[in-house]
Structure 1
Amino acid sequence: MDTTPPAIPFSPDEDLKNSSMLHLADHFHRLATGATQVPAQSLTSHLRHAMADADVVAYHDRLVADAGPLFLHFLASVPYILEEMARIGVALTRLSQTRQADEPRTFSFFEIDAFDGSNGRALAAHSQGLIHTFTTSPNTANQAHFDRYADPTRSLFYPQSFLTLQPRLFAEAPYGRFREGFDYVYETAAFQFYSRDRKAQVNHIKPLLKPGALVFFLEKLNHEDVGQYLERERMKDNGFKTRYFTQEEIDWKRQQMLEQMQNGQVLMPELVEALSSHFKYVYLLWNSTNFYEFVATDDGVRLEQFLNVLGPIHQPEGFCFEPSAIGYVTRAPLPREEERADA
């Protein structure tokens, strides 16, 4: 007899009600208003001088200049994510410019629970409106900063959790421009604040995707080796965060927040399995301490086009713990490969 416990049905309302996102709402509000944990110095990258691509430098500068308090805190907490987001934003712009030759239209970008939309706004501006962006955030304090800097003809904000989204929202003004779905989606380390059920979380956003969409997942992952996890945490805290926070602030955050955050983290094989159950191609783009960035899609040709315009990683030695894993972790045959196999 099968003694496996029955699967618990996915309930967005229940996940939202029980989430760390809501349990930590007061803390996120203080971060979003700049009342606590403010970085002690500018977030301008100390690697800026090494960025040979002028577009990446320009994207970096725009991202830092218009970032809200909570996003600045995020940049100061995740080693070298600023440089990585600039790299991805420039590549998405170049990919969209290439696509426009055959698809003369604007493209769409959805960032999931992404603070005040700093990255989305930077992408819309850098692409000169070629990419329109949509940001969700359950923290309403983020909206004031979004409204202060956003161009509403290019970027929109929805002050709710991504779990509340339904396709019918995009049948209404002002969100109707996204009614056909999104070309690009970026999960900004949001899923871990709700639950560990990555399959269900991805399934929830899938109705919002255009065919062949590129979907990025930035996640902080657990590790089977607790010692390895803690070593990466020490690297993050001592090798990066001390640039921006006192040791007391770092210790306080670890004690007050990270336990709740870790409850929603998953192992790398669990995430890869979840993504592979939804997408034909999964590619690990970047790793920094316990943070990982994947891109997933059903369109292998589109993914190759993106990778071909993606510039180099800007990150010091010692922060990438998974250099041998960078690349495809799931790969179905490309159409031309299938044709050769059938020949």
Structure 2
Amino acid sequence: MTTCTQPLLDDAILDQDLQQSAMLKLAGHFHSLATGASQVPLQSLHSHLKSKIEDPRVLDYHDRLIEGAGPLFSHFLASVPYILEELSRVGVALTRLAQARTTEAGQTFSLFEVDAFDGSNGRALAGHSQGLIRSFTSSPNRANQITFDRHADPALSRFYPQSFFKVCPPLLQSPEYESFNLGFEFIYEMAAFQFYSRDRNRQISHIKQFLKPGGLAFFLEKLNHPDPMEYLRRERIKDEVFKARYFSEEEIRWKRQQMLQQMQNGQVTLEELVSTLSTHFNHVHLLWSSSNFCEFVASDDPEKIEHFLSLLGPVVQPADFSFESTRLGAISSSPSDDGGSGNV
């Protein structure tokens, strides 16, 4: 396997840091989830709001996402209220954006999924776009590769069985991953940062080096809240109104007691995340919120964001789950930027 020289930390220090992270401290639990040994959803993940999805392309994406989902990603879909519907609408918009910006025959676009389970969403995007967008997924949980290899078309999607911190330019020059050696038009962080630390500056700096100029970076995060009681109120709604569809009360209680403290240790507030994103990107938009989760898109090119937003269909979820609905839209914008020099 290709190794990388870390510009800021040598491999030994990096490995030591990773061993102290919740991502690896919870490795046994993640392995159990990824192999379907525990916390398997009690019923089908097909959206109970499917009748409200009017766009046939979003319906196609929805079906692809479920059909290719392994046990851990299925657990994720059953744990984050209405993320299935959200990933579907974003995936269709990215496909339409790539189609609209294709300028020559044979042109392709690429997505880097940051520690994104078994690559279910990247594989769905590659299939839905008919190979126009190709995906690269990192994950330190090797059990995820079993599902990935079972479902992936290797011509369209690749998997790297290590933390995103182990992704580096030499890796993307290696024969296995060389189709991504020029970087990515799109990057999507799949609620991964919180399992490492609160150091969003270091995390965002690391992945942004792989984003092509003018590209779009997405951040799905479970956020802390300045008011602990408000955080818990949102958690209760998630658990009692949504997760109860898929898990027993005992399973929900066990996860809350055993895992959430580790996870919350790496969470930041919305204000903290936006502040850090704003130091790395000229423009940040809040796309979606659900219970304590929020999804952002960031770029240095305002025209690219606006084009993407113009192709984005409506949110499909009950309004009661969107606690940050009044803040949706442009949440940080620099008065001056370089106009975006990329070819997304």
Q: CA deviation at 1:165?
A: 1.1
Which of 173, 189, 192 lines up with 2:191 in the alignment?
189
Is 1:132 aligned to 2:134, yes or no?
yes
Distance 1:204 1:14, change over 3 A: farther
State the SS of the aligned residue for 1:318. Answer: helix
Is 1:286 aligned to 2:288, yes or no?
yes
Distance 1:336 1:214, change over 3 A: closer
Q: 2:58 corresponds to which residue? A: 56
Which of 237, 247, 259 lines up with 1:245 in the alignment?
247
Which of 285, 297, 303 lines up with 1:301 in the alignment?
303
Counterpart residue type for residue 196 of structure 1: R
Which of 175, 178, 186 lines up with 1:176 in the alignment?
178
- Contact preservation (8 Å) 1:16, 1:194: yes
How far apart, in 2, do the equivalents of 1:308 and 1:34 lie? Answer: 39
How far apart, in 2, do the equivalents of 1:277 and 1:36 lie? Answer: 40
Q: 2:342 corresponds to which residue? A: none
Distance 1:15 1:52, change over 3 A: same
State the SS of the aligned residue for 2:319. Answer: coil
How far apart, in 2, do the equivalents of 1:96 and 1:37 lie? Answer: 37
Which of 119, 122, 129 lines up with 1:120 in the alignment?
122
Matched-pair identity in %: 61
Counterpart residue type for residue 180 of structure 1: L
State the SS of the aligned residue for 1:79. Answer: coil
TM-score norm. by structure 2 comes to 0.93
How far apart, in 2, do the equivalents of 1:263 and 1:287 lie? Answer: 21
- Contact preservation (8 Å) 1:300, 1:334: no
How far apart, in 1, do the equivalents of 2:301 and 2:338 lie? Answer: 13
Which of 212, 215, 231 lines up with 1:213 in the alignment?
215
Q: 2:85 corresponds to which residue? A: 83
Q: CA deviation at 1:17?
A: 1.8
Q: 2:225 corresponds to which residue? A: 223
Q: 2:25 corresponds to which residue? A: 23
How far apart, in 1, do the equivalents of 2:336 and 2:45 lie? Answer: 40
State the SS of the aligned residue for 1:76. Answer: helix
Contiguous gaps of at least 5 residues in structure 1: 1-8, 338-343
How far apart, in 1, do the equivalents of 2:209 and 2:325 lie? Answer: 33
State the SS of the aligned residue for 2:307. Answer: helix
Counterparts in 2 of 1:266-281, with a 5 A limit? 266-281=268-283
Q: 2:100 corresponds to which residue? A: 98
Q: CA deviation at 1:102?
A: 6.5
- Contact preservation (8 Å) 2:114, 2:189: yes
- Contact preservation (8 Å) 2:300, 2:337: no
TM-score norm. by structure 1 comes to 0.93
Counterpart residue type for residue 130 of structure 1: L
- Contact preservation (8 Å) 2:301, 2:337: no
- Contact preservation (8 Å) 1:235, 1:289: yes
- Contact preservation (8 Å) 1:109, 1:184: yes
How far apart, in 2, do the equivalents of 1:298 and 1:336 lie? Answer: 7
How far apart, in 1, do the equivalents of 2:14 and 2:113 lie? Answer: 18
Q: Deviations over 1:240-272 (max 9, x none)?
A: 000000000000000000000000000111100
- Contact preservation (8 Å) 1:15, 1:195: no
- Contact preservation (8 Å) 1:79, 1:240: yes
- Contact preservation (8 Å) 1:289, 1:319: yes
Counterparts in 2 of 1:1-20, with a 5 A limit? 12-20=14-22
- Contact preservation (8 Å) 1:282, 1:331: yes
- Contact preservation (8 Å) 1:284, 1:293: yes
Q: 1:4 corresponds to which residue? A: none
Q: CA deviation at 1:66?
A: 1.1
Counterpart residue type for residue 255 of structure 2: K
Which of 291, 297, 321 lines up with 1:319 in the alignment?
321
Counterpart residue type for residue 231 of structure 2: Y
Counterpart residue type for residue 25 of structure 1: A
CA RMSD for the aligned pairs?
A: 1.5
How far apart, in 1, do the equivalents of 2:292 and 2:337 lie? Answer: 34
How far apart, in 2, do the equivalents of 1:70 and 1:336 lie? Answer: 40
- Contact preservation (8 Å) 1:286, 1:292: yes
Is 1:40 aligned to 2:70, yes or no?
no
Q: 1:236 corresponds to which residue? A: 238
